[in-house]
Amino acid sequence: MNAIDSVFDPLREFSKDSVCLVKRCHKPDCKEFVVMGLVGFFVKLIFIPINNVIVGSN
């Protein structure tokens, strides 16, 4: 019985933590969505030239 518990206890804890995470999550509103989009745009804008320099140096 102890071997079975050692397998199922981590699964129970993982599922419990997953349920807590899903309950805390929410869909972003319009303002959050715009901010995430701008951050992603500027990160891409910065790292594309850096990537070209690294790949182009070969």
What's the pLDDT tens digit per position in 6-41? 889 999 999 999 999 999 998 889 999 999 999 999
* pLDDT at position 42: 95
* pLDDT at position 11: 92
**Which residues touch 28 (CB under 8 Å, ≥6 apart)?**
36
Whether pLDDT at 46 is above 70: yes
CB 28 within 8 A of CB 36: yes
How many domains is the chain built from?
1
* pLDDT at position 6: 85
Q: What residue numbers bound the domain in which 49 lies? A: 2-56
What is the rounded distance in angstroms from the CA atom of residue 18 to the CA atom of residue 13? 8
Per-residue pLDDT band for 44 (boundaries 50, 70, 90) equals very high
